[in-house]
Structure 1
């Protein structure tokens, strides 16, 4: 099968959306976010900001790609819930989680704000929103709440009581970089591009220098490495311990996006380094796929296979193949897709499985869950390869 193909990728995006199509809209507001493999819903009342916004992105970008009014309407449905339920105007806060329609957690997470910005960028691209005011508003909220000008990076978390956490991490800054790139593409406003370049330089160059060129996850308030944070919790959803191969390749993708918009030699060179080292450290020759985490000595600390790691990596491989012409990246793209097609794509019901054991056996029949998976990574990766194929 030819995975490096416009028709295949477009059809695959549609097949993923088809899985969610009859079951995702909550007429009371927003989207249902928890699904078993067969499409049956569970925990219907639990909704989280990251999934609420990522699903908007899925539908908005699909609406743009296919010029599809129904996808646009689904994106607008999510926007209404974001602006009228997640956002609390009086408190100037986003609800992190809902339980049965009631705000459950008012912790303010930079990670969540990144996806709010990404959602607005996608909505602007598909002209569901006409002006860039909402993007400017989120940018200013981020400046006020999370920006650390002396370090050129964002802090992570503010408690419901308004206290800034001491934790600093790369993950929220990575997704903030992603959102800033999208915001620039949607608006043409260079403040977004400049911020994305600042974040990329400070994480992929300055901070990576502290950890032998790879990107470590966790830092203290002064952005010094924190080697111990979550050492006993390597499977933490947003703050896992260890080097994350998927984050090395996801950063490679972002650096290549920036290189496309504002070429600099270091962006391509660093993207190659991060991807090559992640592949070398994490590709499983026995069972296929990229494992989840390895320790500072290169020993695997989590050999599970996550859907998003494979997806971000095939996007980066395609972009590197386009940028360098090096055939090895095309071969790696194909190897990833062959592996995913065999093990991650659900050929019975549609969409992808979320997580597999090292031997590719399943943990459970939960396909998607709030905050953890809504196939934004898989759809986004396919869209990125479509850009490559279109010569963009």
Structure 2
């Protein structure tokens, strides 16, 4: 087992430093207008006038901050600092708080809505920058954004967080995160990506309100979001936590399993951890329904029609490895280590672009490589695959 882990660690570190990080440093840095370009197509065509998304920028900030914290290379600090300045100087709304959903290629506000998911990622990036550098400005803005979410998105009556609001924090009709999402008031995905940054913020800021809300988020996943019969996570809800739309997202299941566990560990609440850990195993095992030995993790199951989207997306494979590695590390599940290594072999064979750098969007169910969707863009970022590499490096260093 130690030999397997050591080889896996060496391989992912090599991919991180030679394939993933250089792509973003060399191809996505916008030297003309500042920050980072908004898009490179799946055919490796730069689109310099594309809008620049808050999620992309915040994920670049998190990735390079984490890389600098672990590997101490000055070029990673430079990219992380560039991203930090973009979040604070261009994406942060100095009048109303929060961050804009997007800016144009010149850095001016474009879509000014307050998508809570994006604010969560800004917190995630800023807190990681603080962990890496000790920069107090980054921590200050992360705390500001935490208070924005709590002041405007938290539902004090029925619990949980709404999806989106206008720039001025008023209600809006279309709260969808993306065109493929349901227009419901609450979602698993947004709660997962509030849990994630709140966990990182609590590592560095032991605030009592934050502790209470992070604990509450863990409970929400167990009490409201989890389907206790199937052990899958339900995806969309109305204000009263009534489940809408019968879709199973295998990637989100496996990702949530380890992020929920991480939150409980960081809270250091033994009672909560004792209650949560069986669910961590259950959720990851439920996700395994979508795992193809030697073939990676499929995308989604649409329960109403029993149809499956069997494409193997880059981010789902990355989270699959971390979820299984978490089961091996904390519960001595050797089968999960075997599955993680199988998934890594699939990634090396079908998703990593060994010629141009970075990873392709997906490997299609028909066996072809998806070069239609972005190589880098609004949703295609270095965070899932970069984080997978760094989780393995850090967990077994």
Task: Please give the TM-score of this superposition, normalised by the length of structure 1.
Answer: 0.88
Aligned to 2:14: 11
Q: Where does 1:315-326 land on structure 2 (aligned, <5 Å)? A: 315-326=322-333
Which of 218, 239, 256 does residue 236 from structure 2 map onto?
Answer: 218
Which of 282, 297, 300 does residue 273 from structure 1 map onto?
Answer: 282
1:291–1:303 contact (8 Å) kept in structure 2:
yes
Distance 2:187 2:377 in 1: 21
Distance 2:208 2:133 in 1: 20
Aligned to 1:236: none
Q: Deviations over 1:260-291 (max 9, x none)?
A: 332412322111111111112x1235x71111
Distance 2:87 2:156 in 1: 28
Instruction: Give the SS at the match of 2:52.
Output: strand
Aligned to 2:380: 373
Q: Where does 1:198-347 land on structure 2 (aligned, <5 Å)? A: 198-209=216-227, 212-227=230-245, 242-261=247-266, 262=268, 263=270, 264-280=273-289, 282-284=290-292, 288-296=295-303, 299-347=306-354
Cα offset, 1:190, TM superposition? 5.1
Change (3 A) 1:69 1:128: farther
1:19–1:39 contact (8 Å) kept in structure 2:
no
CA RMSD of aligned residues (A): 2.3
2:328–2:337 contact (8 Å) kept in structure 1:
yes
1:33–1:368 contact (8 Å) kept in structure 2:
no
Long gaps (5+) in structure 1: 228-240
Q: Deviations over 1:269-322 (max 9, x none)?
A: 111111111112x1235x711111113379343222111111011001011101
2:39–2:378 contact (8 Å) kept in structure 1:
no
Moved more, 245-254 or 77-86: 77-86
Moved more, 263-272 or 159-168: 159-168
Give the aligned length: 375
1:319–1:388 contact (8 Å) kept in structure 2:
no
Moved more, 251-260 or 93-102: 93-102
Long gaps (5+) in structure 2: 174-183
Q: Deviations over 1:148-171 (max 9, x none)?
A: 123331111113462245621111
1:23–1:39 contact (8 Å) kept in structure 2:
no
Distance 2:367 2:311 in 1: 8
